[in-house]
Structure formats: C-alpha cells, structure tokens
Amino acid sequence: MPDYQAPLRDLRFVMDEMFAFPCHYARLPGGDEATPDIVNAILEEGARFTREVLLPLNQSGDREGCLLEGGEVKTPRGFKAAYRQYVDGGWPGLSAEPEFGGQGLPHSLGMALSEMICATNLAWGMYPGLSQGAADALRHHGSDAQKATYLSRLVEGEWTGTMCLTEPHCGTDLGLIKTRAVPTDDGAYAISGTKIFISAGEHDLAENIVHLVLAKLPDAPEGSKGISLFVVPKFLPDAAGSPGERNGVLCGSLEHKMGIHGNSTCVMNFDDAEGFLVGEPHKGLACMFTMMNVARIGVGIQGLGLMEASFQDALAYARDRLQMRALSGAKTPDKPADPIIAHPDVRRMLLTQKAFAEGGRMLVMYTARMVDVVEHGQDADERERAESLLGLLTPIVKAFLTEVGFEATNEGVQVFGGHGYIQEWGMEQRVRDARITRLYEGTTGIQALDLLGRKVLMNQGETLRIFTKEIHKFCQAEADNTALEEFIEPLSRLNAEWGELTMGIGMKAMNDREDVGAASVDYLMYSGYVALAYLWARAARQAHEALGGDEDAFYRAKLDTARFYYQRLLPRTRAHAQAMQAGAESLMAMDADALGLGFAI
C-alpha cells in the first residue's frame, strides 16, 4: 500500500533557510500570529491529517468513484467524514480574513498544506480546494450582500464553491459560450445553459454548493467582452441565510474520466436558475480571472504533490527490490541480488523525481511569498513588484510543474517495473490523476501563450526583466564564490540567453504572429528550467553555508541534487532554445488536408 511522509524537513529548509519566511511573516499585518511555533504546529498537524485521514481513502476512492442518483451525487465512502474532520479542524479558513470567519494566516502557509493534500488524495482535495477560489472572487468583486450571504459559509467550509466556465462547444474559448442570463423583475437573473467539466459540481459533503457561472446578458457584445459572472447557489438562501428552496441547477451526468475518480466532475444543467450578478455587466471574465489565478497555482501544486508522493514510494521500493548485481560488483553479497537503487538508471529516475519535486517546492514557495505580499504587503513598490512577478510566474508554476510532474509520476511507475502497472501498488493511479493537471485551468499551450504573448511580449519584456535582473544580481554577488562556480557560470549564461531569445521571438513576431504560438511551449519549458536553475543555485549556496553541523548529510544531499539538476536536466534548455527559434514554417507549411494523407491505399 502506498505511504507518504510530508517532507517537513525540506519544507522548513525552503521556507526558513532559503526564503526567511519567519521574517517575511513578521512584516505582514497580523503576521505576529504566524510564529515559528504556530507554523510548525500547523504543518505537523497537516502532515498527520493528510497521512492518517486522506491517504487511506485515496485508492478506495479511486476504485469506488462517485455515484449519481436522481440528480444527487454520493462521494466515495469516507470522503464525507474526512471533510467533516477537515471543517471541524478549521482548515478551510486557514488563510482567509477573520472578518469572514478565517484565521487570517498567510496564504503561503495554506499553499504548503495544499501540497500535502494533493500528495495524499488529489480527488478529495478538489472539493475544498475550489471553494478558496470562489471565496476570493466574491471577496474582490461581490457586493456587500453577496459577501454577507456566501463568504463566511465558504470560508468555514459549511458550503463549497465551483467555477462553471466551459461548455461542450467552446473549450477554452469562452467568448463562444451560449449560457444566457435574462433579467427578472426582482433584480435577479434567470440562468439557462449547460456547463461541462465542473469539478465538485454536485456532491454530498456540504449542505450547499455555490456555483460561479459565466453567462451572457441579452444585450451582451460578441465574444469575451460580453461575458458576465453570476453566483448561482444550489439551494437559494432563505431570510436567515440557510439553504432554502432548490434552485434550477442540476447535475445531468458524471464524466467518465481517466483519473481523479473520487471527485465528481459534472455536466451541470441550468434551467432558469436564479442567479445574481457579480461585479459589473460584461466584466465577468476579469472577475473570473481572480478565481482562475488561484486555481492555476493550485494545479501547479497538484503536480508537485503527486510527484513527491510518487518519488517517496519509488524510493522505498528501489531500496527493497532485489534484481541483478551492480555493474561495479555486488553491493549486498549476503543477498541473491542487489537492491535496484544500486543501478545507475534507477538512480537517474529517482534523482529526476527528487530534483523536480524539491525544485518545484522552491518555486511554489517563492511564488507563495509573492502572493502574501500582493495580498497583504504594506509597501506599494514592493507590492507592485510582487504582482508583476506573480503574473510572470503563475503560468510557469501551472504548466511547468504539471508537465514535469507528469514525467516524474511516470518515472515512479518505471522504477516499479511491471508492478508499477498493477493497481494495488498505487503508482498507476498517480499517473492517471496527474494527467488532468496538464489540461484543466488552461492547457500547457494556453499557459504558454499567456506567458509569452501577454506577460512578456505585450510589455516588451519589462516583466521578465524584473526576474532576470534578480538572477543577474545573484550571479554577480556569487561570482567569486569558487564553491558555487559550477552553478553560477551556466546560470549567468542562460539568464542572458533568456533575454536574447525573447527579443528574437519578438522581432520575428512583428512579421508573423504565428511565431509566437510556434515558440510558446518551448519558451515556457525553457523558462521553467531556468527558473529552477536559479532556485537550485540559491539552495546550493544555502546548503554549502550550512555545512559543518549536525545535518551535513541533508545539506550534502542538497548539493548533490543541485549538481544532478545542472548536469542532467538543465541541458534540456538546449533543445527548447533550438526549437523555439525554428519559427512557424515547419508547423504551418503543410495544408491541413495533407496531414491526413497516407491513410488510404
């Protein structure tokens, strides 16, 4: 059976040693509550809850799935009780404002907890996970009445939230949605339409579900400029704010999926459902982006959690599984064969998982620090800088960590060999669960277009320069540090090349806009590898400075992993650089009909 131990020592290395989170928290309003003792207690209790409560439900939830009966969904056995424990423990409101029933702790702390949840039971974690985005959207854009009705119940976990965006015919192109919102005499709107792929759209965990729905008013302009956002509860709140009359929203069917079987992914039918406008008419997409940005970082954390869990089980298996002798001679002569961890290729797979997981954790917590500053920072310049960096890094966190996360979970199956393909070991489930992370909340291609087209080229690379300048200053500061020479020289070179490649693509795009789309995914992956190289160099510096104490083994392992990343993974940037410079010609030259030639005799 799979096991999991929250990587608390590594998390403390990242938070306390690399990024000085105790000092960071002390500078935030209310940060005096996030003392090291409190933070440690929360992380340790989160580790216990996820391992003892959520992990045992992961495989059973995958086997059972959800059941739809008469428009009502029953979640797998144990899910409802686990959710009640989660709510009773106060976990939903960890990072929410006290005025709405939250604990007011920094968002980054909640993101650290999210990794543990995703690692132990991704399908379950999606039920409360979506509520945070719904609450954020209402907090930023909802009316006072909407906040009073919905926010505290979402924050406390009494109700859950969804985001109802896409429809059968439009996918990511939300300007094509057909769902309509017709004004009624009482100031509400009658919402009619069908939404698909709605995670946690219907379930039995909470007494009400608050749907945030994109729809178009009768006078809406064409395209994305005509989208409005509405709050549509499953049960209409009565005068006391309790669930009252059933609204005209129903789960039409459950999607039959590759993975995350324990989560109810629904087709939701809105039949003159009563809804209430959130924000201004035709400004719904801007409101929804508040929710989507939270969700995109959350999906990146899903990729991180799954690869960490896969790595832990693969490592344990590789230590125990006996097969063949090491090429350099027997390592366990008293046994019939050596553990497979002695073989170089198994080491390659394990270290790939380890380097991506630990590097991904650095990237998440670096980004999480920016989230704290954007939400609570007191210095306007610091907040503006953090907001720019957050805009740049969000598509990288989402897409890069899910791409390498899927790779890493696959490597976990490979370490197990044939046993990895068998359900009882739990490795193949992680691959199935991880596959969706590259798709929802915007595919890798969509994130790549957002990064290159909107976040970089649209402002002539100004946002990118904020990050590359930080890397440049780090490299300058460590230029004479001979202990870090193997990291600083290649990082400095890649950092300069990053800007040069960006400029080259921008110049090409002036003649052919297709070059942006042709280069975008390779550009995003290149950016992800360089961002992790920067963080691994910082980790190496921190580890080197800490040598000479009681934890030398931990710090030497950090240096060894950084070395592996630079020598075996970072060279992938060469292929991405060459591909992104190839232009669009080889992609677009062939006529669409010619793609199918060769099928007939």
Task: Give pLDDT tens digits for 70-104.
Answer: 889 999 999 999 999 999 999 999 999 999 999 99
Q: Enumerate the domain spans of the chain.
A: 8-141, 160-283, 459-586
Instruction: Kindly provide the b/e burial profile for residues 321-344, where b requires at least 16 CB atoms within 10 angstroms of the residue's own CB.
Output: beeebbeeeeeeeeeeebbbbbbe
In the predicted model, is pLDDT for residue 318 greater than 70? yes
Q: Provide the pLDDT for residue 600.
A: 63
- Which residues have C-beta within 8 Å of that of residue 397, sequence separation ≥ 6? 296, 297, 300, 363, 364, 367
Residues designated as active site: 441
What is the CATH topology of the domain spanning 160-283?
A: Butyryl-CoA Dehydrogenase, subunit A; domain 2 (2.40.110)
The 10s digit of each residue's pLDDT in 479-530 is: 999 999 999 999 999 999 999 999 999 999 888 899 999 999 999 999 999 9
The DSSP call for residue 1 is -
The 10s digit of each residue's pLDDT in 346-388 is: 999 999 999 999 999 999 999 999 999 999 999 999 999 999 9
Amino acid at 114: S
- Taking residues 200-225, report their average pLDDT: 95
- Is there a contact between 202 and 72 (Cβ–Cβ < 8 Å)? yes
Q: Provide the pLDDT for residue 330.
A: 94
- Taking residues 173-184, report their average pLDDT: 91
Q: Provide the pLDDT for residue 433.
A: 98
Name the token pair of 224.
Answer: 């994305």
- Which residues have C-beta within 8 Å of that of residue 404, sequence separation ≥ 6? 303, 307, 356, 360, 528
Name the token pair of 170.
Answer: 């439009």
Tokens 């809406």 sit at which residue? 220
3-state secondary structure of 65: coil
Give which of 177, 180, 59, 181 is closest to 121, Cα–Cα.
59
Residue 173 CB neighbours (<10 A): 12
CATH 1.10.540.10 holds for 8-141: yes
- Is there a contact between 137 and 290 (Cβ–Cβ < 8 Å)? yes
Helix (H) / strand (E) containing 67: strand 67-69
The 10s digit of each residue's pLDDT in 113-130 is: 999 999 999 999 999 999
